[in-house]
C-alpha cells in the first residue's frame, strides 16, 4: 500500500475516534458549565401593538337580500264568458279598479233589463195593495205577500247588476300588470286567470338573518338597502320570523321601503343595513383578526404583566380604515405584529406603534 493512502486512513481513524470519545464522555469542561443554577430561561417573544380605544358606535346588522313585490295576485274571472277586450299591456302601471280584461256581455244586459221591469211591476202592485188596505179591500196577509214579491224583485235586480259588472275583471289594487294570461277570443271559466298584478309601492327588501343576530332586530327598526346599481332605499322592518328555517337555521326578514313611481323592480339584489342599537366598539386592522384553538374569531391583546389575552369578537362593519368589532372592554393594547405566533397567557415584549 502506498504511503499517502496509509496517511489518509490514519487521519480518518483519529477523527472518528475523537467524535466517539466526545459522544461517550462529553466535551471537556462542558459538564462544569451545565449546572441547575446556570440554566437560562428562553427569551420572550417580541410583538408590536397599537393602542385601541373604545368608541360608542351604532350597531348594524348587514344582511344580503333582494327586492320583492309587497303583493302578487293572479287576477281571475268570477264568471264565464269570451274575452272581448284586453287593452292593458304587460308591464303597464295601473290604478285600483282599472279593467284588465273585459268579457262579452252576452245576455247579461237583457237579464238586468228584465229584472228591472219585474221590479217596477212589483212596486206598482205593492203600492196598489197599500191603498186598498187603507180602504179595507186588502188584508194584512195580502200586503205582506206583495211586499215579499217586491223584495225578491229587488234582489233579482241586484243579482243581475253583479253578473253584468263581473264581465269587467278589475285590478284589486294599484300596481303593475306584470303578465297577461288571457287574450281576446279566449273563453274563461270562473276561476281562470286574466293575468298577474304586483304591488311595488311600498316595496319589500327581504333576507335571511343568522340565529346569532336575529335577537338584535325589532319590528319598526330603521333600515337601509343598497341596490346593485348603488341606489339607496330607506325603510323600516315590518316582519321578523319567530320560527327558523329548519335547513339553514336562519330567520326570514322583511323591510318595507318607499318606491315612488314603482321605478325599482322586484328581484334585485341588495345589501340590507339594519340598525340594532349602539354600544362600545373598537377599530382594528383586518390582519389583526385570528382564530383560537376552538375556531373562534377574535384578537390578541396585551394585558397586565405583558401577558397575551385572546378575546372573541364580532365584526360589526368593514371600512377602508379597518374593521369595527365588538367584544372588547375599554382601551386595549392590540397586537398587530406577531399575534399568530404567541399563545394565550404567554409573556411577551411589547413595542407600541402608531
Domain CATH number, residue 108:
2.40.50.100
The answer on 299 and 346 residing in a single domain is yes
The answer on 183 and 101 residing in a single domain is yes
Q: What is the pLDDT of residue 6?
A: 66
Cell of 140: 194584512
Q: Return the axis-axis angle of helices 108-135 and 140-165, rounded to nearest 10°.
A: 160
CA-to-CA dists, residue 182 to 61, 94, 102, 196, angstroms = 44, 17, 10, 11
Q: CA-CA distance, 267 to 254, in Å (whole number)?
A: 14
Cβ neighbours of residue 63 closer than 8 Å, sequence gap 6 or more? 207, 208, 209, 253, 271, 272, 274
The answer on 259 and 117 residing in a single domain is no
Interval 84-106 mean pLDDT? 93
More confident residue, 42 or 102: 102
The answer on 347 and 288 residing in a single domain is yes
Residue 188: band (very low, low, confident or very high) from pLDDT cuts 50, 70, 90: very high
The answer on 129 and 239 residing in a single domain is no
Q: What is the pLDDT of residue 31?
A: 47
The answer on 240 and 188 residing in a single domain is no
- The three-state secondary structure class of 354 is coil
Q: CA-CA distance, 255 to 250, in Å (whole number)?
A: 16
The answer on 107 and 51 residing in a single domain is no
Q: CA-CA distance, 217 to 237, in Å (whole number)?
A: 8
Q: Which domain-ending residue is among 142, 163, 194?
A: 194
CATH code for the domain of 258: 2.40.30.170
Q: What is the pLDDT of residue 23?
A: 65
pTM of the model as a whole: 0.66
305-341: pLDDT as tens digits: 999 999 999 888 888 889 999 899 999 999 999 988 9
The answer on 258 and 180 residing in a single domain is no
For a pLDDT cut of 70, what percent of the chain falls above it? 91
Domain with 237, as residue range(s), is 62-70+200-277
Counting the structural domains of the chain, the total is 3
Amino acid at each position: 500500500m502506498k504511503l499517502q493512502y496509509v496517511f489518509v486512513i490514519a487521519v480518518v481513524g483519529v477523527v472518528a475516534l475523537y467524535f466517539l470519545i466526545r459522544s461517550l464522555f462529553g466535551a471537556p469542561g462542558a459538564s462544569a458549565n451545565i449546572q441547575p443554577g446556570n440554566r437560562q430561561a428562553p427569551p420572550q417573544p417580541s410583538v408590536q401593538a397599537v393602542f385601541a380605544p373604545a368608541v360608542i358606535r351604532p350597531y348594524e346588522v348587514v344582511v344580503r337580500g333582494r327586492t320583492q313585490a309587497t303583493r302578487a295576485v293572479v287576477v281571475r274571472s268570477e264568471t264565464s264568458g269570451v274575452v272581448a277586450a284586453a287593452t292593458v299591456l304587460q308591464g303597464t302601471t295601473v290604478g285600483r279598479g282599472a279593467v284588465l280584461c273585459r268579457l262579452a256581455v252576452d245576455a247579461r244586459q237583457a237579464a238586468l233589463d228584465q229584472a228591472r221591469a219585474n221590479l217596477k211591476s212589483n212596486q206598482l202592485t205593492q203600492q196598489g195593495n197599500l191603498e186598498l188596505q187603507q180602504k179595507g179591500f186588502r188584508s194584512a196577509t195580502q200586503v205582506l205577500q206583495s211586499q215579499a214579491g217586491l223584495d225578491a224583485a229587488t234582489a233579482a235586480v241586484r243579482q243581475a247588476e253583479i253578473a253584468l259588472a263581473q264581465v269587467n275583471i278589475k285590478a284589486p289594487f294599484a300596481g303593475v300588470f306584470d303578465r297577461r294570461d288571457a287574450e281576446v277570443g279566449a273563453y274563461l271559466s270562473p276561476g281562470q286567470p286574466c293575468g298577474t298584478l304586483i304591488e311595488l309601492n311600498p316595496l319589500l327588501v327581504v333576507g335571511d338573518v343568522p340565529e346569532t343576530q336575529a335577537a338584535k332586530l325589532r319590528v319598526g327598526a330603521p333600515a337601509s338597502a343598497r341596490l346593485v346599481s348603488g341606489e339607496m332605499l330607506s325603510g323600516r322592518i315590518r316582519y321578523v320570523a319567530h320560527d327558523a328555517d329548519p335547513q339553514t337555521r336562519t330567520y326570514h326578514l322583511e323591510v318595507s321601503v318607499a318606491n315612488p313611481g314603482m321605478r325599482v323592480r322586484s328581484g334585485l339584489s341588495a345589501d340590507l343595513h339594519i340598525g340594532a342599537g349602539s354600544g362600545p366598539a373598537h377599530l382594528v386592522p383586518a390582519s389583526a383578526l385570528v382564530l383560537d384553538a376552538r375556531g373562534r374569531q377574535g384578537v390578541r391583546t396585551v394585558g397586565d404583566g405583558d401577558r397575551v389575552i385572546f378575546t372573541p369578537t364580532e365584526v360589526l362593519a368593514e371600512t377602508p380604515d379597518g374593521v369595527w368589532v365588538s367584544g372588547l372592554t375599554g382601551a386595549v393594547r392590540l397586537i398587530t405584529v406577531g399575534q399568530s405566533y404567541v399563545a394565550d397567557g404567554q409573556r411577551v415584549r411589547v413595542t407600541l406603534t402608531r
